[in-house]
Each structure stands twice: as structure tokens, then as C-alpha cells.
């Protein structure tokens, strides 16, 4: 039996998953978008259990690599303080990244599974697939965690855990 927070995550995965098409697994099978989103939520928040905890990302804080490069981020800090450098929700989407992808809400709104999953889906589609050229499950998992699958940072444990959760599939829910 799923916990209420898992039910919310699963509903968001099923709603947004069909938008994620064209990706392949390591053996050439089509990736199921809902299962991919479920796997990422499993790594990022234990399928929503930890969704209410924001994580500060030091590179988006004053003195960090991205902070110095972004006037928008600096302005966001003036409005939201440390929340401007945090990731939120079941998919732990960075507030600044969500803003770059068109999100107009407040940081805490990303704790809502419907909103966070929609932003994670846009992130995967627009940044990871269309902009960076990710074509496989492994490349999406790599990029979701490290920012790009084309860099020297390869989060092997994240990819291994994400692949394992993906292969487990969606939970069966007797309706």
C-alpha cells in the first residue's frame, strides 16, 4: 500500500510521463517516461517522503560558481535569500533552474508534486534532451544529477540507483 505522499508522486509521474518520449534504455528499448520520473523521485526524495526538505546548493549561493555568473540569481537572492539557492520537492528541482525554464512562482511552490514534476519534465525535455542531446536513460540520469552527461562528472552511484529503480518499475496500485 502506498503512502499518501507516494500516491501524489505516482499521480504526477503518470500525468507528466507521456511527455517524455524518444529515450532508450541500454538495450535499446523505449524508456517509459512515468517510470523515469518515478525513479528520479525515488533517488531525490524517497518517492516524496523527503519532499518538504529544501537542499541548499552551494554553487548557487554567494561565492559559488553560478552565483557570480548570474545577475538574475543575484536578484533572486535579494528577494528570497537562501531559498534562491535551494532545490525543492520530490524531484529536488533547483528554484533558479525552474525560473530559467519559465517558472514564475515562489520557491516553496516547488514542494507541490504537480508543480515540481511538471518542472522536472520541462527540465528533462528542454535542457537535457533538446539542448544537451541526451538520448538514453543513463544520459538523462547523469544529466539530472550532475548538470550534463557530456562533462567529466559521472555520478556512477546515482546512475546505478536510478537504473535499479527504473527497472523495478512503477508500483502496482489496486484501484
Residue 135 lies in a domain: yes
Residue 173 lies in a domain: no
Q: What is the pLDDT of residues 67-98, one digit of tens each?
A: 999 999 999 999 999 999 999 999 999 999 99
Residue 175 lies in a domain: no
Number of domains in the chain: 1
Contact predicate 107/83, CB 8 Å? yes
Q: What is the pLDDT of residues 93-151, one digit of tens each?
A: 999 999 999 999 999 999 999 999 999 999 999 999 999 999 999 999 999 999 889 88
Residue 17 lies in a domain: yes
Q: What is the pLDDT of residues 5-63, one digit of tens each?
A: 999 999 999 999 999 999 999 899 999 999 999 999 999 999 999 999 999 999 999 99
Q: What is the C-alpha to C-alpha distance for residues 155 and 162, in angstroms, rounded to an integer?
A: 11
Residue 8 lies in a domain: yes
Residue 70 lies in a domain: yes
Q: What is the C-alpha to C-alpha distance for residues 78 and 174, in angstroms, rounded to an integer?
A: 48
Residue 174 lies in a domain: no
Residue 74 lies in a domain: yes
Q: Could you list the residue range(s) of the whole structural domain that residue 29 is in?
A: 4-168
Amino acid at each position: 500500500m502506498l503512502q499518501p505522499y507516494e500516491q501524489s508522486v505516482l499521480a504526477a509521474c503518470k500525468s507528466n510521463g507521456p511527455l517524455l518520449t524518444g529515450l532508450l534504455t541500454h538495450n535499446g528499448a523505449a524508456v517509459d517516461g512515468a517510470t523515469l520520473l518515478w525513479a528520479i523521485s525515488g533517488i531525490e526524495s524517497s518517492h516524496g517522503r523527503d519532499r518538504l526538505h529544501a537542499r541548499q546548493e552551494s554553487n548557487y549561493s554567494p561565492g559559488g560558481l553560478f552565483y557570480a555568473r548570474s545577475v538574475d540569481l543575484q536578484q533572486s537572492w535579494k528577494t528570497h535569500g537562501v531559498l534562491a539557492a535551494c532545490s525543492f520537492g520530490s524531484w529536488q528541482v533547483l528554484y533558479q533552474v525552474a525560473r530559467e525554464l519559465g517558472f514564475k512562482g515562489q520557491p516553496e511552490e516547488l514542494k507541490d508534486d504537480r508543480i515540481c514534476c511538471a518542472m522536472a519534465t520541462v527540465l528533462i525535455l528542454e535542457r537535457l534532451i533538446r539542448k544537451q542531446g541526451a538520448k538514453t536513460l543513463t544520459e538523462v540520469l547523469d544529466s539530472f544529477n550532475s548538470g550534463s552527461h557530456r562533462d567529466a562528472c559521472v555520478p556512477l552511484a546515482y546512475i546505478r540507483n536510478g537504473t535499479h529503480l527504473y527497472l523495478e518499475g512503477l508500483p502496482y496500485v489496486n484501484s
